[in-house]
């Protein structure tokens, strides 16, 4: 029986929206998490900082651990069921955060938010499986802008909603938006899924075992980790660095939010262009360009003298991300076996989460040694390591 034709463009548009909302859901708490925790009890500054760090990191740590499990289940039962599980679970959990009465309830719900991760990785896997080969780069380019832009714009959205309506309404609005992604996925996302039948005595393969292109896939995982680490290394110190560059400003939070969102704006505008170009000349060439180009703004940021220069460099970082992230997704789609594609994308999400956690930790640690500018020395060196590793790995791609 012939497979039913799938409208890959419709899938792409709906899943872009879902990725965007999921990105906001993971990041919208950032601007006010310490203030919100301060309303939940009488804590010292040290306790507030500790609880804020735990609540912020909780979903990323859990996501890093459980993502491969959801990938395995997606390859066994289908990507759409996993999309529905993740979107509905996140809608309930994020909405429930509006009802917490103490900090431990918030931390537990943030941990559960990580448990219900997997929307983004399975969206990538479904698009990779259902999109015609000649359009994978274009589709990956567009889809990747959803998560990244949601993550970057999330703090601004969360801050604005919290300022206008209160902290708790941020969770309500985000939960409702995630519920709408769940409903749209039910009716407008379709896939042709045929589960792979394994022999009863055949063990489930571990990680990348048995995949001929494993070195290429592992290289993409490491690239994802490096990119996320360099992008997020500035997160803990951005507002403080802005204050150092412009000590007389009375709008530090607003300026910091705008600067943080600039690379997301650049990525939304440029990523589809790089995606289409990658379909023509090869995604691996776009990837190499992106890594090389990323070192330039990181290095120049060491010497910036005002917030406008800092903003310009973050805009250039967004252009490098627009080349890097879609190219990684396209190469994963190209070199993953179809029967394990969800597992591959889930492992990539684990490495992404590791970058989200390690980047701020690196940034905070480097500040103690080399000051704010030292963070950009470190990110430049990480980008150089990424290039050297990728240059060796990319030679296996023909």
Instruction: Give the model confidence (pLDDT) of 105-162 as tens digits.
Output: 999 999 999 999 888 888 988 988 888 888 887 887 788 778 877 877 787 787 778 7
- Per-residue pLDDT of 34-91, as tens digits, reads 778 888 988 887 787 778 778 877 888 898 888 888 888 888 888 999 999 999 999 9
- Assign 333 a pLDDT band (cuts: 50, 70, 90): confident
Q: Which residue has the tokens 């060196």?
A: 381
pLDDT at 356 (0 to 100): 82
Alpha helices for the chain (secondary structure H): 8-27, 33-39, 45-77, 79-96, 103-115, 119-130, 136-165, 167-188, 214-232, 238-245, 252-281, 283-301, 307-335, 341-394
Between CA 131 and CA 134 the distance in angstroms is 8
In this structure, the number of other CB atoms found within 10 A of the CB of residue 9 comes to: 12
> Looking at residue 31, what is its pLDDT?
61
Contact 22, 143 (CB under 8 A): no
Work out the angle between the directed axes of helices 8-27 and 79-96 (0-180°, nearest 10).
30
Single out the residue of 13, 10, 6, 11 nearest to residue 272, CA to CA. Answer: 13
Q: What whole-number distance in Å separates Cα of residue 142 and Cα of residue 132? A: 15
CA atoms of 295 and 391, how far apart (whole Å): 14
Mean pLDDT of 170-190: 91
How sure is the predictor about 267, in pLDDT bands with cuts at 50, 70 and 90?
A: confident
pLDDT-derived band at 391 (thresholds 50, 70, 90) equals confident
Q: What mean pLDDT comes out for the span 217-240?
A: 83
- Residues 233 and 357: their CA atoms lie apart, in Å, by 9
130-142 burial: b if 16+ Cβ within 10 Å, else e = bbeeebbbbbbbb
Range among 23-27, 133-137, 155-159, 215-219 rated most confident:
215-219
* Cα dihedral value 313, 318, 323, 329, nearest 10: 140
Please name the residue that has the structure tokens 């938006």. 177
From CA 216, how far away is CA 283, in angstroms rounded? 13
Q: What is the share, in percent, of the chain residues with pLDDT greater than 70?
A: 92
CB-CB contact of 48 with 38 (8 Å): yes
Q: In angstroms, rounded to a whole number, what is the distance separating the alpha carbons of residues 376 and 305?
A: 14
Per-residue model confidence (pLDDT) at position 2: 40
Q: What is the mean pLDDT of the chain?
A: 84
**What pLDDT, in 10s, does the model give residues 149-179?**
787 778 778 777 877 888 898 899 889 989 9
- Nearest alpha carbon to residue 375 among 279, 211, 250, 237: 237
**Beta-carbon count within 10 A of 166 CB:** 14
The rounded percent of the chain whose pLDDT value lies above 90 is 26
Class of domain 8-192+210-394: mainly alpha
Residue with tokens 């529905």: 84
Q: Could you tell me the two tokens for 236? A: 């803990």
**pTM of the shown model:** 0.77
**Alpha-carbon Rg of the chain, whole angstroms?**
20
pLDDT tens, residue by residue, 292-324 = 999 999 999 999 999 999 999 999 998 998 899
């Amino acid at each position: 029986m012939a497979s039913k034709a799938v409208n890959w463009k419709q899938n792409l548009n709906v899943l872009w929206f879902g990725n965007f909302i999921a990105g906001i859901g993971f990041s919208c708490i950032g601007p006010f998490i310490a203030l919100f925790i301060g309303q939940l009890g009488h804590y010292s500054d040290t306790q507030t900082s500790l609880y804020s760090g735990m609540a912020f990191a909780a979903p990323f740590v859990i996501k890093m651990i459980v993502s491969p499990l959801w990938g395995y289940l997606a390859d066994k039962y289908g990507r759409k069921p996993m999309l529905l599980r993740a979107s509905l679970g996140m809608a309930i959990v994020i909405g429930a955060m509006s009802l917490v009465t103490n900090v431990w309830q918030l931390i537990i719900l943030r941990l559960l938010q990580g448990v219900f991760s997997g929307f983004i990785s399975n969206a990538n896997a479904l698009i990779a499986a259902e999109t015609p080969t000649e359009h994978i780069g274009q589709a990956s380019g567009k889809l990747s802008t959803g998560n990244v832009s949601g993550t970057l714009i999330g703090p601004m959205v969360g801050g604005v909603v919290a300022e206008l309506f209160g902290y708790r309404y941020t969770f309500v609005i985000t939960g409702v938006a995630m519920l709408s992604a769940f409903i749209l996925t039910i009716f407008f996302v379709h896939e042709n899924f045929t589960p792979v039948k394994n022999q009863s005595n055949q063990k489930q393969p571990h990680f990348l075992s048995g995949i001929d292109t494993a070195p290429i896939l592992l290289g993409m995982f490491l690239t994802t980790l490096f990119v996320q680490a360099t992008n997020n290394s500035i997160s803990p110190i951005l507002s403080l660095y802005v204050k150092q560059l412009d000590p007389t400003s009375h709008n530090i939070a607003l300026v910091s939010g705008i600067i943080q969102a600039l690379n997301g704006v650049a990525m939304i505008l440029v990523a589809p262009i790089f995606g289409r170009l990658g379909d023509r000349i090869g995604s691996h060439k776009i990837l190499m360009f992106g890594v090389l180009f990323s070192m330039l703004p990181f290095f120049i940021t060491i010497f910036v003298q005002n917030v406008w220069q800092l903003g310009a460099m973050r805009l250039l970082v967004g252009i490098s991300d627009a080349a890097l992230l879609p190219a990684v997704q396209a190469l994963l789609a190209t070199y993953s076996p179809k029967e394990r594609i969800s597992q591959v994308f889930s492992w990539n999400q684990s490495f992404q989460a590791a970058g989200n956690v390690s980047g701020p930790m690196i940034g905070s640690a480097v500040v103690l040694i080399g000051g704010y500018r030292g963070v950009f020395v470190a990110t430049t060196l990480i980008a150089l390591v990424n290039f050297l590793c990728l240059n060796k790995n990319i030679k296996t791609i023909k």
